[in-house]
A and B are shown apart, each in its own frame.
Chain A
């Protein structure tokens, strides 16, 4: 018998997305390696290349390109696996979306590489990049929307054909993530289309800086949930199957995704706590809304460990912690995601600190923040994606994830963890000492700054050691990916990787959880409450606008 997978059109789509994702990944991590050396004055870049160009590329390639392309590859395979084969229209529009997204990516990347857009991935005005950088960003977002609508269309067809039934958990969560993404992007699309593009091409003389920053962060925070929710799909739907268990509670899983839609968007001001132009009241209101995401996060933590314990006890684990040893630690598909979850504990706690209103002043724009997102998106999300890659690529290419590759994968996961612990701990501590983020090597002539090169943990050298280990780990991952894509032996039905989907009992799940109109409505009301007055104020009481500056 030959190996089975999802139908060919979806395989090609998903593999193309994953291929672009991992190309961005290796270039992006290489940029990261260069950065830690430059920050230690251990590397001199050639004259045509600048630290901030590399920094922009690192952020854009890893945080935007790698994540987004991976997520769509994962969604396309999972939607086909759980809802059935795509119709020709769904396939066509997914390709259209993919091509637009890729075109935007190429455009923005060319601008960054040619030094026309060293504005970092936050592209704060009034630094003005080449107009085509912003056009590239707009195309990128529009492309993801087209893919999103194509997937939503596939879901709607399924619902029509299965009236009264609850959709499979994977599809439900995909749709929730897509809804979050589309609402979130409205902010950045508005900023790019109505503010940046007319300004950068010279059709408008000036830009309202504070408004553009607020629109960016309206998008910027839910963006992190757009990375996180697909990882949560891995945690809720895939991990239980890998360890041989079931979803802990279907309704709680769905409810947590709804809560993320509601409480991840009206909270962008917590990235702007230390800036003028927003009254304290509105900053505090959004702080409260930010804290609400603690609830679905705790629900998720509970569900995960409930699944682990239940399964460990089924396998014969005794006593308070005996179940823990029974878990399949040698299975890298599980171990990777388990480690990813562990990293999210300090990651989430750090996030609460960052959002804590006046406490934000202690860490805002210091290296602490860099440490923070490397143990949130850089490990819990990224390592979950690695864990998914290990079976998803061979599932799609019908190849075998061999024992030798599995051992390499374990080494990859462990080295990534070690590198990340070293680097992010150093970054957190240096940040508390006041070391700024986003700087090339500096010799600020002051004893406080000189101390940033002297500690054991709190040292730029420790950061570089961690960063180097991380790059080795990234290279190893690329080796595994290439093997799984082209060189591993072809599978037969017995050795074929499967797409693990855990059983989830939806009989008791309330139907209202799948009434999207209600939740989109509630989300929009919350957004209106949190943003209408302060944004209207920014427009009405705007200072004279800013012209464009090119300071790099």
Chain B
């Protein structure tokens, strides 16, 4: 199969770009730990009231000084509806759904998690700046989807 000289140059450039892009993404993900939200823990969506940590939704300080936030999403809101976390600390969000698929997306941050019933999604984030952050559901979940939101207040320690 004949390849034109310019096409060879063009495709070499393409392949090189591909390898560079993938290396950057891969190193950032697996060496520096920047993987997108995820997790393999399962729960029974009908029985969250007796499944830790969702039996006690809210902010919990852990022994190592970091924070864990357990959130339950259901049409069309979150439990708890308002939380406070300190700035500059590691905050791990654990979210799951009681009914349909939702999302837990904190505007102005890279926390953007799908909330799937039966699955626990996890993401760790450090808030640098204090202030009030808006959380919206960005996965269509029904007629009240556009009202589904909550707030996080990040406070100076």
Q: Do A and B come from one complex?
A: yes
Please give the residue numbers on chain A whose beta carbons come within 8 Å of chain B beta carbons, in ascending order. Answer: 50, 52, 55, 118, 120, 124-127, 209-210, 213, 249, 251-252, 255, 272-280, 283-284, 287-288, 291-292, 294-295, 298-299, 302, 306, 352, 356-362, 364-366, 433-434, 436-442, 444, 446, 448-449, 508-510, 541-546, 549, 551-552
Q: Which residues of chain A are within 8 angstroms of B103 by Cβ–Cβ distance?
A: 274, 365
Tell me, yes or no, whether B42 is within 8 Å of chain A by CB: yes
Q: Are A209 and B118 in touch, CB under 8 angstroms?
A: yes
Is B73 an interface residue when CB atoms closer than 8 A count as contact?
Answer: no
Q: Smallest CB–CB gap between B95 and chain A, Å?
A: 9
- Of the candidates A302, A366, A444, the one whose C-beta lies within 8 Å of that of B7 is A302
Contact of A294 among B18, B42, B108, B145 (CB under 8 A): B18
Q: Name 16 extra pairs, CB < 8 A, besides A274-B38, A364-B114.
A: A209-B101, A249-B2, A251-B2, A274-B36, A279-B38, A279-B40, A295-B14, A298-B10, A302-B7, A359-B25, A439-B138, A444-B149, A448-B134, A449-B136, A508-B2, A544-B118
Using CB atoms, name the residue of chain A closest to B104.
A274
Of B64-72, B81-89, B119-127, which stretch is located at the interface?
A: B119-127
Minimum CB distance partner of A298 in chain B:
B14
Q: Give the residue of A55, A118, A440, A551 whose beta carbon is less than 8 angstroms from that of B75.
A: A551
* Nearest 4 pairs of A and B residues by beta carbon: A551-B142, A543-B118, A436-B138, A434-B107
**Any chain A CB within 8 A of the CB of B130?**
no
Chain A hits for B44, CB < 8 A = 543-544
User: In the complex, A200 Cα to B15 Cα: how many Å?
Assistant: 46
Contact with A along B20-31 (1 / 0, CB 8 A): 011001101110
Q: Do A446 and B21 form a contact, CB below 8 Å, given A275-B38, A438-B140, A546-B45?
A: no
Contact, CB under 8 Å: B43 / A52: no
18 A-B pairs (CB sep. < 8 Å): A52-B140, A118-B142, A126-B99, A126-B117, A251-B1, A274-B121, A275-B38, A277-B38, A287-B22, A357-B26, A361-B37, A365-B139, A434-B108, A436-B136, A442-B147, A543-B45, A546-B99, A551-B141
Provide the bound-state CA to CA distance between A439 and B148, in Å: 10
Task: Give the size range of B's interface with the partner.
Answer: 35 or more
- Closest partner residue, chain A, to B75 (CB atom): A551
